[in-house]
């Protein structure tokens, strides 16, 4: 756990590590690249081995200063190999840390929707059995979720637009999209979406972004009144292309709608 250079967050927390590829956006995965290079000693069985780290669960409880915390930057909390009880333990820590905003991002949108929709009943009472940390199914969802839990999905082109539909049906205080690496144009329905992040790919095998794709998403966000964050143009390094889109650095976030020229 520690500070990060990811522009849209301030801290990373990895109670789970390891993942597998599920779509074209994963082809040049930055986390896999790190796990095979400077972090190799922490991945003796390779990056594709999903590993739970219960010893890391209480790390956020030790941080008193409010932070934005990206959960599982080196994995996907809704990977099929992460058991329900462990996800619940992560969520329990999040509930105990109202001073922080926790950002959970997944490509497994269907499991996200199914899991989180079983978490709430009328009146906003979380359905947790403390003895077994299991879920109870009540068949209906009315509560938006904890205010400090931001849920998002990644999508790289129009082929994966269904992930947005699953997110829209998921109880969450903030729902966000990460269109990174952006590999094609996107026509978005932004109803129920609170934030959009766009970025080009970086790394030795990066696939160049067409800035017209990013402009189109920015314009869709402006029309819908949704905060837009442009992370990077990308290139061989994350800083190679800079962060300006048409001369503007877009740093909008939920509750912070501002751009810096």
In the predicted model, what is the mean pLDDT of residues 254-258?
Answer: 66
DSSP codes joined into one string, 202-246: BSTTPPPP-HHHHHHHHHHHHHHT--EEEEE--BSSTTSS-SEET
Digit-coded pLDDT (tens) for 181-223: 999 999 999 999 999 999 999 999 999 999 999 999 999 999 9
Digit-coded pLDDT (tens) for 14-50: 999 999 999 999 999 999 999 999 999 989 889 999 9
Q: Which residue has the higher pLDDT, 188 or 141?
A: 188
Return the pLDDT at 117: 82
Average pLDDT of the chain?
A: 89
Using pLDDT thresholds of 50, 70 and 90, give the confidence band for residue 146.
confident
Return the pLDDT at 257: 52
Digit-coded pLDDT (tens) for 72-107: 999 999 999 999 989 989 998 998 999 999 999 999
Using pLDDT thresholds of 50, 70 and 90, give the confidence band for residue 62.
very high
State if pTM tops 0.75: yes
């Amino acid at each position: 756990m520690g500070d990060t250079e990811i522009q849209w967050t301030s801290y990373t927390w990895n109670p789970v590590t390891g993942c597998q590829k599920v779509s074209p956006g994963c082809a040049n995965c930055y986390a896999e690249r790190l796990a095979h290079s400077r972090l190799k000693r922490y991945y003796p069985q390779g990056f594709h081995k999903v590993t739970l780290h219960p010893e890391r669960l209480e790390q956020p409880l030790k941080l008193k200063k409010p932070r934005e915390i990206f959960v599982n930057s080196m994995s996907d909390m809704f990977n099929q190999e992460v058991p329900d009880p462990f996800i619940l333990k992560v969520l329990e820590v999040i509930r105990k840390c109202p001073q922080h905003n926790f950002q959970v991002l997944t490509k497994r949108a269907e499991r996200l929707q199914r899991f989180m929709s079983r978490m709430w009943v009328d009146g906003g009472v979380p359905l947790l059995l403390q003895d077994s940390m299991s879920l109870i199914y009540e068949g209906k969802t009315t509560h938006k979720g904890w205010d400090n839990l931001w849920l998002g999905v990644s999508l790289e082109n129009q082929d994966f637009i269904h992930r947005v539909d699953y997110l829209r049906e998921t109880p969450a205080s903030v729902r966000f999209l990460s269109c990174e690496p952006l590999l094609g144009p996107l026509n978005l329905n932004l109803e129920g979406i609170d934030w959009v992040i766009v970025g080009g790919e970086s790394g030795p095998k990066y696939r160049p972004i067409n800035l017209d794709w990013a402009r189109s998403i920015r314009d869709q966000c402006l029309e819908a009144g949704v905060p837009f964050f442009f992370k990077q143009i990308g290139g061989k390094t994350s800083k190679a292309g800079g962060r300006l889109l048409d001369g503007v650095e877009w740093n909008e976030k939920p509750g912070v709608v501002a751009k810096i020229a």
